[in-house]
Structure 1
């Protein structure tokens, strides 16, 4: 038992830790104007979350990877023209056009 515990401790010591940001974002309050201040990772996470959220609302369980760039461009253009609109509304409006 002690050998297993020692082995586990040695193995865990070699594993790098990943720092996670403990941040809660209420997407319902995020405005289009805030997208330009996000890092690339933050924007990508938000975009992926938006697609999943809207897909869930519409009962869509598939994701067309070929269309993701077009969808992102459409949402970006909508947000550029409507900076005070929330990103949830912008995504829904851009995807319904």
Structure 2
């Protein structure tokens, strides 16, 4: 691989560490599942009194479990590379 001397790298271009990525995935999964469980419990308790409200809450929070798993298993984010292009007139 040939390196260009004019090409510069930035610390912000670095990928997050494996531990940081795992922490982020766990946090996302935990938050979404907490919302799912609270919504499911509220929807279940409301179902006995106002069945339509409880049913709507259960239907809305139902897919959150699936979404949480998809986001937790998603590939790590890729850092966008900044263009280091500088016109010759400005060098």
TM-score (norm. length: structure 1)? 0.28
1 or 2 for the larger relative contact order (CA 8 Å, sep ≥6)?
A: 1
Q: Kindly name which structure, 1 or 2, has the bigger radius of gyration based on alpha carbons.
A: 2
